[in-house]
Amino acid sequence: MYFLGIDSGTQSTKAIVLDLESGKILASGHNAYDLIEGLPPGHLEQHPQDWLNAVEASVKQCLEKLGADRAKIAGIGVSGQQHGLVALGADDKPVRPAKLWCDTSTQAQCAEMAHEFGGHPGIIALAGNAMLPGYTIPKLLWMKQNEPENFAKTTSILLPHDYINFWLSGVKRMEYGDASGMGILNVNTRQWCYEICDYIDPRVRSMLPELGSSRSVHGRLRPELAKAWGLGDNVIISAGGGDNMMGAIGTGNIKPGVVTASFGTSGTLYGVAAAPVVDGQGEVAAFCDSTDQWLPLVCTMNVTVVTEQVREMYGWDLKQLEAAVASAPVGAEGVMFLPYLNGERTPNLPNGTGVLHGLRPTNMTPANIARAAVEGATLGLAYGLKRFRDLGMNPTEVRLTGGGSKSPVWRQIVADCFNAEVVTLSTSEGAALGGAIQAAFAQANEGGAEKVSYEQLCAKLVALDESTRCKPNAENAAKYTLQLERQMELTGRLQQTGWL
């Protein structure tokens, strides 16, 4: 039996076909897209139709490679960028483009809601999470206040992966993992916080679809799509989840003790927990995972955003970028790059901008700027790891996934900044693999006692690539400890003076 895993990311969609028997990835597909251009700073949006087109294109690439064997596909699992707001009208069409996880235009709405519910402590007591601009529900309040005609037309809301699931199956439903990033799920009880919903508008309750377990089957592939793609008539769609929740499954992060770091458009650090992990400072998000456990997570908004920008500025390809980073010494001869190009979530700087600090005539080289960009983005996540350690999670090994983890020089920088061993998986597409594994789990266990566990599936299907293992270099780790202090101190001071 084969399972299709789809990861709809911020920059592209990736699809893979997993053979359950051999554990091999038999085919993969990829399709890129852009953000909508020309919007004011802080407004980051995409057309949901672009995601559907990319899903279709990347799935078709896989199916072409499989040929007649495509009939062996028994299930599909979808991973999607978290938090985006897809607002649908009565005709089930988006009433406007989706506002994304990296859209920071909703600061006023976050402040208003925090004020209403007793500040960050009050909101954290209600839902487990602070109200941050990246999350979904402030986007809905923003729409009510700024586009009342679109709000009036909205009859239901979905997250990006839910919208893809809806297109695949015709069923609107949410699962706990991705729903926990909306800002209205009480992560302790896994129930909606109706106080917050009602504050936004009494109609919000009716906009929410059914909410349920991430372990169940979401629906079946629509007959029209099954026919068009040449698939069988009983292909299940699993519950799916946010890309970090699915990345957790695909990196074998299904029981406490494992920590994964993802280097994609965003940077994330997460580890499964058997109970909610609530951070009083609201920096470590208290999310649910997509196996009905919990997923404390730190997210920074500027990872490959920054490296891509530097690469484009110098007209380099990825190899040239890597060579430049490798040619500069640890610490980039004093050049520091505060990477907040799109604003930032951790630390919470919705209006943040990038800062280059420490430039001298002798160190102002493309190589140092490239190295400083990688170091700045990685130290942002090292701060997250420090917060994990504050909360009692102290990994000796971190599993890496996402596009940036393909770079050997970057991996060593991560090991040194984290002062922990790092290793990648046999595929860098952890979220897509997680989708395929979740689909295999849901298909095997549908409607009865559990026949196959996540432990069994991950033991068989998730493999570390030992050739990528990097140990921290003690001397470099010590330098990066100081570098992190400088980065956070500089950030704090600029924030205090209103420059960030």
Ligand X SMILES: Nc1ncnc2c1ncn2[C@@H]1O[C@H](COP(=O)(O)OP(=O)(O)O)[C@@H](O)[C@H]1O
Ligand Y SMILES: O=C(CO)[C@@H](O)[C@H](O)COP(=O)(O)O
* Feature table: binding site for substrate: 82-83
Helix (H/G/I), strand (E/B), else coil: 447: coil
Tell me which of ligand Y, ligand X, none is bound by residue 357, counting a contact when its beta carbon lies within the kind-specific cut-off of 5 to 8 angstroms.
Answer: none
Question: Locate tokens 């208290």: which residue?
Answer: 286
User: Considering 103, 178, 243, 416, which one is annotated as catalytic?
Assistant: 243
272-301 positions binding ligand Y, by CB under 6 A: 299
- Segment near ligand Y (CB under 6 A), from 22-30, 215-223, 259-267, 468-476? 259-267
Give the one entry of ligand Y, ligand X, none that residue 307 binds, where binding means its C-beta sits below a cut-off of 5 to 8 angstroms depending on kind: ligand X
Other beta carbons within 10 angstroms of residue 204's beta carbon come to 22
Listed in sequence order, the DSSP H helices in 175-303 are 176-179, 194-200, 204-207, 223-229, 243-250
Minimum separation from the CB atom of position 100 to ligand X (A): 11
| Number of residues located near ligand Y, criterion CB under 6 A | 16
Residues 131-170 that bind ligand Y (CB under 6 A): 134
Q: Which residue, among 92, 76, 98, has the nearest Cα to 222 in the 3D structure?
A: 76
The two tokens of residue 142 are 């923003």
CB of 32 to ligand X, least distance (A): 8
On the CB side of 478, how many CA atoms lie within 13 Å of its CA?
2
7 is catalytic: no
Residue with tokens 């500027």: 302
Report the nearest approach of ligand Y to the CB of residue 262 (Å): 6
Spatial neighbors of 371 by CB under 8 A, at least 6 apart, are 324, 325, 328, 329, 332, 335
Residue whose CB is nearest to ligand X in the complex, by number: 403
- Pattern 177-196, ligand Y, x by CB under 6 A: ----x---------------
Q: How far is the CB of 423 from ligand Y (least distance, A)?
A: 19
For residue 125, the tally of other CB atoms under 10 A from its CB is 14
Using the minimum distance from each CB to ligand Y, give the nearer residue, 29 or 80: 80
The pair of three-digit structure tokens given for residue 466, joined into one six-digit string: 């030992």
Report if residue 264 touches ligand Y, rule: CB under 6 A: yes
Residue 407: contacted member of ligand Y, ligand X, none (CB under 5 to 8 Å, by partner type): ligand X
- The closest of 164, 224, 247 to 432, measured between CA atoms, is 247
Which x/- pattern, by CB under 6 A, does the window 418-457 give for ligand Y? ----------------------------------------
Which tokens belong to 6?
């789809």
Where is the binding site, in residues? 82-83
* Residue 286 contact, options ligand X, ligand Y, none, Cβ 5-8 Å cut-off depending on partner type: none
Which amino acid appears at position 251 of this protein?
Answer: T
Helix, strand, coil shares of the chain as percentages rounded to 5?
40, 20, 35
The CB-of-455 to ligand X minimum distance in angstroms stands at 26
Residue type, position 254, single letter: I
121 preceded by a cis bond (ω within 30 of 0): no
Binding residues for ligand X (CB under 6 A)? 9-12, 264-265, 304, 307-308, 318, 322, 402-404, 406-407, 410
Burial of 223 from C-beta contacts in 10 A (0-12 / 13-18 / 19+): exposed
Q: Does residue 401 belong to the site contacting ligand Y (CB under 6 A)?
A: no
Closer to ligand X at the Cβ: 374 or 444? 374
- Is residue 337 within the footprint of ligand Y (CB under 6 A)? no
Q: What is the Cα–Cα distance from 184 to 129, expressed in whole angstroms?
A: 9
Q: Is 240 in the site for ligand Y (CB under 6 A)?
A: no
Q: Give the shortest CB-168-to-ligand Y separation in angstroms.
A: 20
Under 8 Å CB-to-CB from 330, ≥6 apart: which residues? 416, 476, 479, 480
Q: Is 342 in the site for ligand Y (CB under 6 A)?
A: no
DSSP state letters, 120-177: HHHHHHHHSS---TTSSHHHHHHHHHH-HHHHHH--EEE-HHHHHHHHHHS--EEEHH
Assess 343 for contact with ligand Y (CB under 6 A).
Answer: no
Phi, psi of 29 (to 5 degrees): -140, 160
- Tell me which of ligand Y, ligand X, none is bound by residue 181, counting a contact when its beta carbon lies within the kind-specific cut-off of 5 to 8 angstroms: ligand Y
Pick what 242 binds: ligand X, ligand Y, none; C-beta below 5 to 8 Å, kind-dependent: ligand Y
Which of the listed partners (ligand Y, ligand X, none) does 82 bind, with a CB threshold of 5 to 8 Å by partner kind? ligand Y
- Tell me the closest approach of the beta carbon of residue 50 to ligand Y, in angstroms: 14
Q: Does 378 bind ligand Y (CB under 6 A)?
A: no
Nearer to ligand Y, 264 or 331 (CB): 264
Taken in order 301, 305, 309, 311, the sign of the CA dihedral is positive
Site for ligand Y in 5-64 (CB under 6 A): 9-10
Between 424 and 491, name the residue whose CB sits nearer to ligand X: 424
Which of these segments, 77-85, 124-132, 314-322, 475-483, binds ligand Y (CB under 6 A)? 77-85
Tell me the closest approach of the beta carbon of residue 264 to ligand Y, in angstroms. Answer: 3
Contact 474, 268 (CB under 8 A): no
- Helix or strand or coil: residue 58? helix
Interface residues toward ligand Y, by CB under 6 A: 9-10, 81-83, 101, 134, 181, 242-244, 264-266, 268, 299
The set of catalytic residues is 243
